[in-house]
Structure 1
Amino acid sequence: MIKEIIVVEGKDDTVAIKRAVEAETIETGGSAINKDVLRRIRLAQQRRGVIVFTDPDHAGERIRKIIARDVPGCKHAFLTQEAATSRGDIGVENASVEAIRMALENVRTDYQSEEAQVSWDDLMEAGLIVHPQAAARRMTVGKQLGIGYCNGKQFFNRCRMFQISQEEFEAACRHLEEDEETK
């Protein structure tokens, strides 16, 4: 049984989580997350801890940001878009049992720190921003780091929030370079 309570978007996500692991969930009811839900998430974080596990899309990212802002210290589980897509529909409910378990094994904790481990210049040098293939490169590096896909600014924020070390970042970038060499 997972000690933390997993925050998901809806009932279908709860069903998918419970197929993969023994856990309890809080459903946000979609992207219109209200104060009562945030209050329950805050209480869950204080008592047992929380893992935010939203869809890898715009709405899921919006929910993740709201929770991270209002309930600091949460853990975050990420699925790639490919692992969460079935017949054109993106969502946790579409992920395999194995993908859900892997995402939960690789959770990241939200740390608010003024000290950035990875700089904006590091992202530029790695071709993760201001590069013709920046989006694809961020997708690969985000998958390696376990922080998911997002735009450049959000990628930078996630590196800070999850305190990605320079070593972790460089190793993920080396993996990216190796992938490109084999293509």
Structure 2
Amino acid sequence: MEKVIVVEGISDKTRIAPLIAEPVTILCTNGTVSATRLEEMLLPFEGQDIIILVDADSSGDKLRKLIKREFPEARHFYIDKSYKEVAATPIGKLIDVLNAADVRVFNHAIRNDFYERMDT
């Protein structure tokens, strides 16, 4: 089944895209969207595995509520509230979230994260 990951901004997309080792469509909402715009954006992907990965802030919460109402089959994954933004989340934490969502990540991303964790 094809996977679609919904993020809020281009910086979120730029942060996670290099980690992903399988064909995945990453959609940017560019902040809060209307129900109509959300439907236009996600309807072409109906029947696919829709993964939601948005910021841990009020904007992200509003977007999640809208998605849950309009696309209840979407799967929601969360970053730790202490990081607030997907783009500010450490690579290792993003790898953990992607793994939890059954999204394959590149081995080199895992190795690089291992060495990053060793340095801290």
TM-score interval, normalised by the smaller of the two chains: 0.7 to 0.9
- Answer whether contact 1:6 1:25 (CA < 8 A) is retained: yes
CA contact (8 A) 1:19 1:97 kept: no
In structure 1, what is the Cα distance between the partners aligned to 2:86 and 2:46? 21
Structure 1 Cα separation of the partners of residues 81 and 25 of structure 2? 24
Match of 2:32 in 1: 31
Residue pair 2:35, 2:70 contacting (<8 A) in 1 also: no
Q: 2: CA distance between counterparts of 1:77 and 1:11?
A: 18
Counterparts in 2 of 1:100 and 1:5: CA distance versus 1, 3 Å: same
With over 3 angstroms needed to count, the CA separation of the structure-2 counterparts of 1:33 and 1:9, relative to structure 1, is farther
Deviation at 1:20, TM superposition (A): 2.3
Post-superposition offset of 1:102: 0.8
CA distance in 2, matches of 1:55, 1:101: 16
- Matching residue of 1:68: 68
Distance 1:33 1:25 in 2: 19
Query: Equivalents in 1 of 2:70, 2:53: separation in Å?
Result: 16
1:96-111 paired onto structure 2 within 5 Å: 96-107=90-101
Aligned length: 99
Secondary structure at 2:73 match in 1: coil
TM-score (structure 1 length as normaliser): 0.49
Percent pairwise identity: 21
* Matched-pair contact (CA < 8 Å) for 2:54–2:78: yes
What are the ranges of 5 or more consecutive residues in structure 1 without an aligned counterpart? 85-89, 108-183
Unaligned runs of 5+ in 2: 102-120
Structure 1 SS opposite 2:31 = coil
Q: In the superposition, relative to structure 1, how do residues 25 and 97 fare at CA in structure 2: closer, same or farther (>3 Å)?
A: same
Amino acid at match of 2:80: T
- The residue that corresponds to 1:77 in the other structure is 77
Equivalent residue for 1:92? 86
Structure with greater Cα Rg: 1
